[in-house]
Amino acid sequence: MEDLNIKIKEIFRNFSNDPGNLIPILQKVQKELGYISLPAIEEISCFLKLTESEIYGVASFYSQFRFNPRGRHSITVCLGTACHVRGGSILMEAFERDLEIKTGECTLDKRFDLDGVACLGCCALAPVVKIDNDIYGNMSVIKLKETLEPYE
């Protein structure tokens, strides 16, 4: 708790308390702390003088923001059109089955969290999966296990 306060105060130092900074602040909080926690929303509310529901209203509107803790590695499966016609949704199912979680969840051992995305802009190499900052093109169900292996 103390820790969170310090980190958040640190983040606030780079911003003025103009409500227009809400989205960049939420982005920074997510980047530093992994997700938008309830205490974080309380802190932002004090800082920007917005109500907690206003903040939650904005944060929940955008698909980027997470309200649950993340895993050590983040898997993002592209569900865009080019990936869809080359089997993106089947790939997503394979990840869900293999990791025994649903989209938006995190594995019990906190190794992976899983999410879909509308397009990663690598459509020419569809289907595409991103793990942390690494992008994998021309993915397939049978490459799944070996692709995950290096991520401990």
* Contacts with another protein, residue ranges (CB under 8 A): 18-24, 26-27, 57-58, 61-65, 79-87, 90, 93-94, 97-98, 117-126, 128, 133-138, 140-142
- What's the closest the beta carbon of residue 98 comes to another protein, in angstroms? 8
Amino acid at site 105 = E
Q: Angle between the 2-12 and 22-33 helix axes, to the nearest 10 degrees?
A: 140
Q: Which does 58 bind (CB under 5 to 8 A by kind): another protein, ligand FES, none?
A: another protein
3-state secondary structure of 51: coil
10 Å CB burial of residue 132 (0-12, 13-18, 19+) is exposed
34 vs 137, beta carbon nearer another protein: 137
8 vs 83, beta carbon nearer another protein: 83
Taking CB under 6 A as the criterion, which residues in 93-122 touch ligand FES?
119-122
Cα distances (Å, whole numbers) of residue 25 to 2, 11, 36, 63: 19, 8, 10, 16
Taking CB under 6 A as the criterion, which residues in 124-143 touch ligand FES?
126, 128
Distance separating alpha carbons of residues 145 and 128, to the nearest angstrom = 15
Q: Which does 99 bind (CB under 5 to 8 A by kind): ligand FES, another protein, none?
A: none
Q: Which helix (H) or strand (E) holds 45?
A: helix 38-48
Q: Which helix (H) or strand (E) holds 38?
A: helix 38-48
Place of tokens 């227009």: 20
Q: Which does 62 bind (CB under 5 to 8 A by kind): another protein, ligand FES, none?
A: another protein
5 vs 138, beta carbon nearer another protein: 138
3-state secondary structure of 114: strand
2 vs 149, beta carbon nearer another protein: 149
Binding site for ligand FES (CB under 6 A): 78, 80-83, 119-123, 126, 128
